[in-house]
Amino acid sequence: MRFVRAVWKLLVGIKDGLVLIAMLMFFGVLYAALSARPDPISDGVLAMDLDGVLVEQAARPDPFAAALGGGSIMREFELRDLVAVLDEAKSDDRVKAVALDLDGFLGGGQPALSALGEKIREVKAAGKPVIAYATGYTDDRYQLAANASEIWLPSMGLVAVAGPGGNNLYFKGLLDKLGVTANIYRVGTYKSAVEPFMRNDMSPEAKENAQALGDALLETWREDVARARPQATPGLGRMMSDPVAVVQAARGDLAQAALQLKLVDKIGERRAFEARLAELGGTDEDSAHGYKRIKLAAYERAAASPETGPIGVVTIAGEIVDGKAGPGSAGGETIARLIEKGLAEHPLKALVVRVDSPGGSAMASERIRQALLAAKEKKIPVVVSMGSVAASGGYWVATPGDFVFAEPSTVTGSIGVFGVLPSFEGALAKLGVGADGIKTTPLSGEPDLLNGPSPQVNAVIQAGVEQVYAKFLGIVAEARRKSPAEIDRIAQGRVWDGGSARQLGLVDGFGGLDDAVAKAAELAKLAEDERGLTYLEKEDGFADTLIAALTGDSSAGDGSGAPTDTFASLSATPEAMLARIVGDLRSILRGPTIQARCLECPPAAAAARLTRDDRSWLERLLS
C-alpha cells in the first residue's frame, strides 16, 4: 500500500506541475500580448503580405489555439479593413510605395478582389508605386496583381490561369456500400446541392447551370483584368486557349513565357524584389528584408477610426444558421438582435445590408427578414449590397431591400429548398442487426433513422419543403413585383451570375458597398455631410482583444505561409479540399432538415481549414 500511495503522490505531483507550467505559459503569453505596444509608423513601404484569404467578415480563431499554438490559424483579411488601409495610404506621405506580396494569398470572391483592385489603382493614381510578387499567379492572385504598377515573378515561377471549373465528389456509390440511405426532399429542377447523395455524376440540368455560371464568371474576370492591365489581354487569350503552344514557344521556360506575353513586368528572385522596394522606400540594414517596412497590422490599427452616423450597416456573412453565432457565420438570432438593438440605440435614418452568404437555415433567414421588415415599418429605407455570393438564404434575406445592388460576378439566385435525412437500415442489415418497436400514431418514432422514414413522414417532410419553397416564391414575387409563376420560371434552384440576375429583375443595379451607402442616403434624404456609417456588430470583448493581439502579426511576411514550390501554389492543398468536402457533408447531414442553401456556389475563399471536429467526423464516417 505504501508503494501505491507513493506512486499516486508522484502522479499527482506531476499533474500539478504540468498544470502550473501551462498556467505560467498562458499568463506569460497574455502579459506579453497585452503589454506589447504597436509599432510606430515611419516612412517606408507598406508591406501588404496577404498570407491568407480575403473575406467579408473574419471568423474569430480559437483563443486556446492562438495562445498555445495548438492549431493552425489561417489568417482572414476583411475587405473593409484593407480598403480603409489603402484609402489612408494613398494620401499618407509616410507611405512611399506598397508591396503586394501574394505568395501566401489563398484567394477571395471576384467582387471582393475587384473592389480591392480598384483601391490599388487609386494608390497608383496618387503617384505611389504598387509592386506585386508571387511564386505562382493563379486566377485570384492575378486578378489582384494586375492592378499593380509592376508584377514580379521568380525565374522558376509561372502564371497559370485556369478559369472556373473542376470536379465535385458524388457519394451515392459509397453510401450504397455503407448501407446508408439518403432520404431526399427537394423542390427545384436545378437544386443540385443534394445530387452528391443521390447520383454518381452531375445531372444534365446541374451541368448546364454550372457551365453557364462558369462562363459568365470567366468573362467578368477577363473584363476586370483587361481594365487593370490592358497590355496583358492578348497574352492571356493565347495562354488560356493553347497553353502548350505558349510553353513550347518559350522553350519550356514558364517564367519567360509569362514575360513574353506581357503578363508580368520583371523576372527576379525575392532578393531582387526586396532591393527594388529598398529603392522606393529606403534601406533598412537592421531588417531581414533590407527595406523600410510599414507592417500591415500596425498600419491597419493606426488607420482604423470608429465611424458613427445615421446609416446603419449590418453584415450577413457566411452560412446562415439558427440561433446565435459569432463573426464569419450568420446566426439568425444574432443578426436580428443586432438590427433591433441598432435601431433602438442609434438614431438611424437608413440601413445598408451587406450580404455575402450561400444561405443555410430557412428559419434563420426568415428571422433576419422579419427584423428588416420591422425596420421598414419605421420608415427606414433598406438597401442591399451583395458581395461575392448572395444565394438561397442569402437571397431570402435580401428581399426586403428597397434597392438591391450586385456585381456582375456576384453569384445569386438559387431560389430553391431541399432537405436530407440519412437512415441506416442498410447498414444495420449488413451488420446483422435488427430494429423493431411499436407505434401509437403514424408518426411515432419518426423520422425512423434505423428502419428508414415511413411513407407518411416522407410525405409530411416533402410537403414542408414544398410549403417553404412556395413561401420563398411568394416573398421574392412580392419584393420584385412579379407573380409567383414568373419567379418560379427563373427559380427552381438555378444559380445566376449578377449580370443575368439584373436582366431577370432579381437585382436592381450594379454597384458595391459605396454605391449602396449613396443610395441609402438618397432614399433617406440625407445631405452629403450626413452620410456617416454605424456598423451594427457585436463589440469586441476582452477575449477578442487578446486573440487579436496574439494573431495580429502572425502573417508578417516571414515566408511561413508561402508554398513549398511553384506548382504547389496553384491549387488548394489536399487538406483544404478535404475540409470543404467534409464541411459540406457535415452541414447538410446535421440539418436543419429543411434548408435554403447553395452548395453549388463557388466558395468565397479558396481555402478552408480542416478543424478537429471535421477530422473526427471524417474518421467516424470512414470507420
Catalytic residue IDs: 191, 392
In the chain, how long is the greatest CA-to-CA distance? 86
User: What's the gap between Cα 377 and its chain centre?
Assistant: 32
Torsion of CA 112, 115, 116, 121, to 10 degrees: 160
Cis preceding-peptide flag for 447 (omega within 30 of 0): yes
Q: Please enumerate in sequence order all residues whose Cβ is within 8 A of that of 319, keeping only pairs 6 or more positions apart, or say none.
A: 329, 330, 357, 358, 359, 360, 587, 597
Backbone angles phi, psi at 78, to 5 degrees: -80, 135
Q: Which amino acid is at 62?
A: D
Q: In residues, how long is the chain?
A: 623
Which DSSP symbol is given to 608? -
Q: State how far Cα 213 lies from the chain centre.
A: 18
Nearest residue to 177 (alpha-carbon basis) of 200, 195, 201:
200
Q: Which residues pair with 293 in a beta bridge?
A: 45
Number of H helices, E strands in the chain: 24, 24
CA-based nearest residue to 136, from 102, 100, 98:
102
Instruction: State the cell numbers at 545.
Output: 482583444
Is the CA virtual torsion 452, 454, 458, 464 positive or negative?
Answer: negative
- Return d(Cα 278, Cα 621) in angstroms, integer: 53
Tell me how far apart the alpha carbons of residues 518 and 509 are, in angstroms, rounded to a whole number: 13
Cα 161 from chain centroid (whole Å): 21
φ/ψ of residue 47, rounded to 5? -90, 100
**The sheet that has 359-361: what strands, in order across it?**
181-187, 417-423, 594-597, 359-361, 320-321, 330-331
Place of cell 514558364: 254
DSSP class of residue 37 equals P
Question: What does R_g of the chain's alpha carbons equal in angstroms?
Answer: 26
Q: Which residue bears the cell 533590407?
A: 290
Grid cell in block for residue 616: 473526427
For residue 113, how many other CB atoms are within 10 A of its CB?
Answer: 26
Q: Which residue has the cell 438564404?
A: 393
At 622 the three-state DSSP class reads helix
